Structure 1
């Protein structure tokens, strides 16, 4: 049996369906391929989550809330902290075959410093892996080009010592190269979320809609998911964009003759209410003229439940990349909205073969946005046919990065950094 130790700073297990989709690809492919045990260093260990993904969670280095972390180092590294979890982490790492550090390891949602912040957390896990002579992998890395030199320094450290770095797009491999992080072990496999299985049972999504008292009255149903860029926008900026989103949604109702279904992709609100898509949706929904034609699924959901709702819509419009990918999994028309972060969308829209299905929400006017979405809608049959051809290849490529991780575990000691075959 192989043992995988899975880590990530505020990644997985924090009610973010995009992160959980990447986790699902990793865990399900491991379950299919090998005899394995997966131990997850979690911010909030929880039995139901463990059961859903076939993992075993233990407490990680994060404090349980941002409030508890203010002015402090990672949990366990402050005078007076409990340290039993450090013993557990050391024991699990000593017995593992590989450490997988998942998610956006180089995010700058807050400034990193010694034993604080996302990239510092990833570097701590990598340092421990090196100290215990365990190979580690950076899985599904992506993000904006780092602005801070400390982020660039730690990114070079993390990439240079990793056995494998799997990038979501060629764009981010270029970002790493610009930072000085290069090598054959840095490879592009596409977004891990492409590897998820669609939910085939239509009744699950219907049951959720019934439970929520949602009934549609128009000809079409368009999914909407909108995230608050809370680490970038201040309150006046969000207020302005919420008003714009309300006007845009009103026009979607009119030009598409559609009910809008708001499907939250993140419902985590322990640190910041703006992380919760439900709160964000209520702000712009209450400003709409066609308030009766937009509906919010107002509860926490598992990944399976979330995917089941995408099965029943006719199109998805979102500034969340994984909301767009969830639509693509079902060959649904996708229109991506950049909210000041084109690096997040242009590369993956090109991967999907949907180059024209993209708008800048922050720069384009409401009428321009509505026209662009209508064009995507009018070409929906062509887009669906294209996705039906493209998605199987992207799915296989997403799963192949897990095969590469397995190959590292199976390599002889001292040969773990031999790169697997490249995947185009």
Structure 2
């Protein structure tokens, strides 16, 4: 390993760390090259990477420890000479160790996503190995532990299942409080839910409905719909309060007025396929199923994200938009959010930029919600 290449590598890492502490780390990199070339060069690479991921104070101490261990290992393996042969195995080891901080940084920053992937993969594996699907296992747990007729306890039991056993995609407790708060403020009479899933959202909405209100919930998957039906009835809601409709949303929405008696919805909760958000919102507008001042809540707009839906909501000029930031259900380290749209009924005009709300303030023109481009986590 030549002096020039080692210096180039070290100075490159030093430049990457300029925003952290430029003078210190450039001097460390350059000094390492001048003193022991390969030995401390890769030690400096390791330390600068740690500086980027962990912070100056921690990485400085680790740099000292790493340098001492590295020099000791090389001294024991090579004797008095500190110059490495061009094809020495220690060069490969040093190169591999140089990437350790990058791996550590990625592991630290992505640990919540890795945990989510692991839980979803474990559930998928159990579905393949077990004769009973995940929905059936969750329902059996619910029947064994939930108090019939108590919607709050039913939701708490589903939360326990999702935390301790297997992951269920639903609104969850954190975003559920946002939904309940908005629903209580609006007091709607006609509520529509797209994406019943396991029935969590339907129970959450039904328990917060004002007297005499009605909820229509739509689910595409018959297997999930069968579980949701039992969950909803277990919570104590009959068909006069919560009606479950099985079928694709693009087919159900045009039939809501004729077959299900929904003239126009005051409140809509979207938690089905994220790619369907924009299409179904357009369908609701086209068939005049949005009442004046109707509220539309869309879940998971940041993770996994619904950028086309957000761009349309902001750009069409018929909605006033607000973003409620929260975390993904049962994973507090993964940011997510619920988009709240207020239907004004005004056609797009002028520049069609729409009006947005963030923190209770109207903002026109500026994209404070990240709705002009895919949200960045």
The structure with the greater share of residues assigned to helix is: 2
TM-score normalised according to structure 1 size:
0.28
Q: Which has the larger radius of gyration?
A: 2
TM-score normalised according to structure 2 size:
0.30
